[in-house]
Structure 1
Amino acid sequence: MKIYKYILGIVLVGASVSCNDFLEESPSKSTSVVPETIDHLESLLNDYSTFAAEGASELIFGTDDFALTTDLFDGIPASISTTNVHYATWDTEYLPTTTRPYWTQEWKKIFIANLILQNVSDVSGSETQKQQLKAEAHFIRAYSYFQMANIYCLPYTNGNKAELGLPLKQTTSFEENIERATLEETYAQIETDLQIALELNMDLEVINGQNRTWRASTVAVLGFAARYYLALNDYTKAQSYAEDALDLHNFLRDYNTDMSFSTRPNPVTIFNPDPEVVNIDYPYTHDLQTIPTDKLEWGESYYYRFLSNYSWNYYPSTDLLGIYDQDYDLRYKYHIVEDYTYDRGAVNPAFSYPGYIFFFKSDILSGPSVPEMLLIKAECQVRQGSWADGIQTANILRGYRIDASAPANVRDLFATSQEDALTKVLEERRREMPFVHRWYDIRRLNNNEVATDDVTLSRTFYPYTGGTVLSSETPINFTLDKNSRKFARPIPETDIIASGGVLKQNQY
């Protein structure tokens, strides 16, 4: 039995998805447990812990939102692993042999979607329920394929359509082909799944004001559609879907009234050189490490997904820090935690650097949301010529993020031209959704109809080996040019070996 068929097909559903009897046995080629009722399939989708986490190190470390400097590494080397450095410098030599949790996480979600599609017609239950489950499964599959295509494949352009896409897994069969389809074929499947998912007719709110963001809904699919078409630079469709989503749900948290600091003390003793106690001020959301209901009840989200940083080191770059108004922007006040490195161990000698905190030290909401829809609408308005309207749309969000005491010329964005408006809306997007969307944005900005928003990534850092940062050597420059083939990150070498060469690595 070939290992790669487990990697891309069998994903140990019984071990991790539900405690129902039919799932307690892990599937194998010789034995499998078949779901019999609609409730069995519903239980697969109700386990939000399976679908929510997105451990994509490429997004966390691979953009100009993340600080990778020699000073930061010297100050707290234990907090930035060599693997973090590999991701942050777009390495292609060592990363193929690194454990890749995101790759396996997303294939697991695709497997569950395929399991539902394969069995939904045969289980007991109403036709209405079955059609809803089918639409939701197509949504999950489209979502995961889109996420992976934006990491492991080149950007979708006319010139790249024949490049390597992803294996198109549509069943749970061991025998299904895992050869990589073209990029054009991959996006064709995503769009086909998306169009079926748009048939989903499910409210976001279910009972007593609780939003069921752990499951797909009509507004979640609309939000994803807006994200998808923005990535394709189809501004008409992206704006239309964003507006449709906002018509259904447009709640925004007011950071003036709905955010606060943690009431738990976080004292840290530093040595500078004498001992000194410093209290680290975290937002209250930092305390929610093991309380998923608070994340689910955030209110702005359409779909419960979060970027998960297992290293707890969202260190914002000086470039990112520089676009916040540090006096009045409440996102800076509550999400940028000063002296964060003290809490991570840089106390003797003391080295101070801030961290970005959303939920606990690891999680940033990443699913489609009200803020994202407003910013998609604003950008699309600007790019299609209605740049003054786009600025006003962005200002709707700022009304909930900027200190109420701020002067009007600080609270609201102003623009003097379409180009100026685009710059300001893109900066607002980056302020609102750092780390989560920046990688996707750089890919599309470098491949759209204008050159004024292009981004070249560059870092000066120490050389390294597979397991060591050579901090005693002279720093060198690492660059990711706008047309670099390194925008398609390496897939795990273990899968390629196990496939006997059927699965092809990206070429650099």
Structure 2
Amino acid sequence: MRIQYIYIIVMGMLLGACSDFLEENSQDLMIPKTVQSYKEFLYGEGLNNKIVLCEYLDVMTDDAEEIINTKRPYETSVDSRKYWSYYTWQEYPEIQMDNSLSEDRAWGEFYHRILIANIILNHMSDMEGTYAEKMDLAGEAYFLRAWSYFMLANLYGKPYINEEQAAKDFCVPINHAIDIEDKLLPRSSIKEVYDLMEADIKSSIASFKSSRVEKTIFRPNLATSYLLASRIALFRKDYDRAIVYADSVLLSSEASLFDMTEPYSIPRFLNIGNNEILFSYGEVPSNISAVFQYSSSQRASFIPSTDLMKLYAANDIRKTSTLFFANAGKKPMKYYGTTSEGLYPHAFRLAEVYLNRAEAYAAKGMTTDALREVNALREKRIPENHEVTATTAEDALALVKDERRMEFCFEGFRWFDLRRWDRPQLKHRFSSAENPSNYIEYVLQQDDPAYTLPIPQKEREMNLPIENINRPRRDK
């Protein structure tokens, strides 16, 4: 990795600065002086800077399939070609079908957030504010850094399979920079990166417990950090800790599962009226609102796959209401709407607690406990005959995986889950909009190297020595 930030921090601060927000430290550099100023800085630069990331995640999975727009073929063709390279797992997915470049901004943005967290933690002792305020800010900064490394590791690092493999295979560079640098960094191992994110999330939890500051769901909080800790432990196959951290979410939050079986007034699932939301952040991914925008005019490129929709029971409200889908399951609706309508773009939410515990119990061979967690969630999604059964832990784990797929579809979970489980073979068909009978079937093989994204082209050009993933070439 090559770190080269030319006063990007200063510019980010100045965009929202008021007269007493900053104090002048030098002719070129303006530095915040209060905890509140740094909190605004972390929010604006790290949590809600209006940048949409990872739009391609769901398109790469088996939750998406193409739709041919026979009424408006040109519109379908344009949208589908924009995501064609991700949908077909191309060697360099930033290169679109017409050979133009669609920049993957996730690498640079997550490292920018890591830099923000590094700077804030480094200046903690210099800030003006109470101990509680500082601890609350530290909790947010540690959370932001752990979360950013988690995303980078699962986008650009090899999958975490086991401890021995993780100590050998490459992940992403670790960046300790606290100011402007022009420096090449090599990749660290998967284990080193996971060790760092685990240490950070533990520090976040300890900081939030010390601060006891009342939080809104628009800021990272103690329950959110416990949930991220559970997620990290699950990905490491540390099932005991995954369960303990998930338990701690319930102990630290008054949230409860949203009950779809009772009368409700919210128009979409990710909405201000949903009481299971722990933390909301970011912008609505445009691929949900554009590429999957199936309507009566059939203006869409991709729709929820047939295999996904078959998983839902006939009376599953996730399938039958417009909280999750519309147009007979052809249009994802979780994100549909505007912030003025109470929409939450992305969220950490309580359902993950139940499914993290369910998976950990199943992996430990505790079938009864795993089924209890799954059925506790399904009870809030299906009005009658919601219970599932299994006689073996293997069967229970399969049920958990299906439930995760149904519950978290189009929230960015599926690609990461496929990577960490068994990296199965996937197939996507890409057809000519003008002649649908003319198509190419693309195959992502079992354990395909393309389960890891290549480092973005811009970064590769600046850091030629860095090791890159060798993804196979695929025909157009």
TM-score by length of 1: 0.77
User: Is 1:506 paired with 2:475?
Assistant: no
Q: Distance in 1 between matches of 2:178 and 2:56?
A: 28
Q: Distance in 2 between matches of 1:126 and 1:364?
A: 31
Q: Distance in 2 between matches of 1:7 and 1:491?
A: 21
Residue of structure 2 aligned with 1:485, choices 449, 463, 472 = 449
Deviation at 1:220, TM superposition (A): 0.9
Q: Please, which runs of 5 or more residues in structure 1 have no aligned partner? A: 261-282, 289-293, 341-352, 447-453, 464-468
What SS does structure 2 have at the residue aligned with 1:304? strand
Residue of structure 2 aligned with 1:476, choices 437, 440, 444 = 440
Q: Distance in 2 between matches of 1:181 and 1:21?
A: 42
Residue of structure 2 aligned with 1:254, choices 253, 256, 259 = 259
The amino acid across from 2:459 in the alignment is: D
User: Is 1:166 paired with 2:172?
Assistant: yes
What SS does structure 2 have at the residue aligned with 1:57? coil
What SS does structure 2 have at the residue aligned with 1:214? coil
User: Is 1:190 paired with 2:197?
Assistant: yes
**Is contact 1:111–1:171 with CA below 8 Å preserved after alignment?**
yes
The amino acid across from 1:478 in the alignment is: Y
User: Is 1:116 paired with 2:120?
Assistant: yes
**Is contact 1:22–1:34 with CA below 8 Å preserved after alignment?**
no
The amino acid across from 2:180 in the alignment is: F
Q: Distance in 2 between matches of 1:481 and 1:30?
A: 56
After superposition, the Cα gap between the structure-2 partners of 1:100 and 1:20, relative to the gap in structure 1 and judged at 3 Å, is farther
After superposition, the Cα gap between the structure-2 partners of 1:170 and 1:392, relative to the gap in structure 1 and judged at 3 Å, is same
Deviation at 1:99, TM superposition (A): 1.3
Aligned to 2:181: 175
Deviation at 1:319, TM superposition (A): 0.9
Q: Deviations over 1:82-116 (max 9, x none)?
A: 12121111112352642123333323322321221
Q: Distance in 1 between matches of 2:356 and 2:193?
A: 24
Deviation at 1:53, TM superposition (A): 6.5
**Is contact 2:284–2:335 with CA below 8 Å preserved after alignment?**
no
**Is contact 2:326–2:333 with CA below 8 Å preserved after alignment?**
no
**Is contact 1:9–1:172 with CA below 8 Å preserved after alignment?**
no
What SS does structure 2 have at the residue aligned with 1:334? coil
**Is contact 1:378–1:389 with CA below 8 Å preserved after alignment?**
yes
Aligned to 1:300: 276
User: Is 1:236 paired with 2:240?
Assistant: yes
Aligned to 1:90: 89
Q: Distance in 2 between matches of 1:364 and 1:456?
A: 33
Aligned to 2:474: none
**Is contact 2:68–2:76 with CA below 8 Å preserved after alignment?**
no
Q: Please, which runs of 5 or more residues in structure 2 have no aligned partner? A: 96-100, 293-302, 472-476
Aligned to 2:375: 395
Q: Distance in 2 between matches of 1:21 and 1:86?
A: 47
User: Is 1:148 paired with 2:145?
Assistant: no
Q: Distance in 1 between matches of 2:22 and 2:261?
A: 47
**Is contact 2:156–2:452 with CA below 8 Å preserved after alignment?**
yes
Q: Deviations over 1:334-360 (max 9, x none)?
A: 2354438xxxxxxxxxxxx72011132
Residue of structure 2 aligned with 1:359, choices 335, 339, 352 = 335
Q: How well do the aligned residues superpose, as a CA RMSD in angstroms?
A: 3.6
Deviation at 1:421, TM superposition (A): 1.6
Q: Distance in 1 between matches of 2:18 and 2:173?
A: 30
**Is contact 2:267–2:323 with CA below 8 Å preserved after alignment?**
no
After superposition, the Cα gap between the structure-2 partners of 1:253 and 1:3, relative to the gap in structure 1 and judged at 3 Å, is same
What SS does structure 2 have at the residue aligned with 1:368? strand
**Is contact 1:89–1:478 with CA below 8 Å preserved after alignment?**
yes
Aligned to 2:304: 316
User: Is 1:31 paired with 2:7?
Assistant: no
Deviation at 1:146, TM superposition (A): 0.3
**Is contact 2:61–2:414 with CA below 8 Å preserved after alignment?**
yes
Q: Distance in 2 between matches of 1:161 and 1:3?
A: 23
Structure 1 window deviating more from structure 2 (6-15 vs 61-70): it is: 6-15
Deviation at 1:252, TM superposition (A): 1.4
**Is contact 1:20–1:40 with CA below 8 Å preserved after alignment?**
no
Fraction of identical pairs, as percent: 23
Aligned to 1:279: none
The correspondence of residues 7-156 of structure 1 with structure 2, limited to 5 A, is 10=9, 12-14=11-13, 18-21=16-19, 31-47=28-44, 50=48, 55-68=53-66, 77-78=76-77, 80-95=79-94, 97-156=101-160
The amino acid across from 2:323 in the alignment is: H
Structure 1 window deviating more from structure 2 (476-485 vs 362-371): it is: 362-371
The amino acid across from 1:433 in the alignment is: F
Q: Distance in 1 between matches of 2:239 and 2:2?
A: 42
Aligned to 1:423: 398
**Is contact 1:65–1:320 with CA below 8 Å preserved after alignment?**
yes
The amino acid across from 1:420 in the alignment is: D
Deviation at 1:148, TM superposition (A): 1.5
User: Is 1:329 paired with 2:317?
Assistant: yes
Q: Distance in 2 between matches of 1:53 and 1:257?
A: 36
Aligned to 2:296: none
**Is contact 1:179–1:502 with CA below 8 Å preserved after alignment?**
no
**Is contact 1:103–1:148 with CA below 8 Å preserved after alignment?**
yes
Aligned to 2:407: 432
**Is contact 1:331–1:432 with CA below 8 Å preserved after alignment?**
no
After superposition, the Cα gap between the structure-2 partners of 1:52 and 1:432, relative to the gap in structure 1 and judged at 3 Å, is farther
TM-score by length of 2: 0.81
Q: Deviations over 1:195-233 (max 9, x none)?
A: 2122123599977xxx61222221111100000111111
Q: Distance in 2 between matches of 1:52 and 1:235?
A: 35
What SS does structure 1 have at the residue aligned with 2:469? coil
Structure 1 window deviating more from structure 2 (246-255 vs 18-27): it is: 18-27
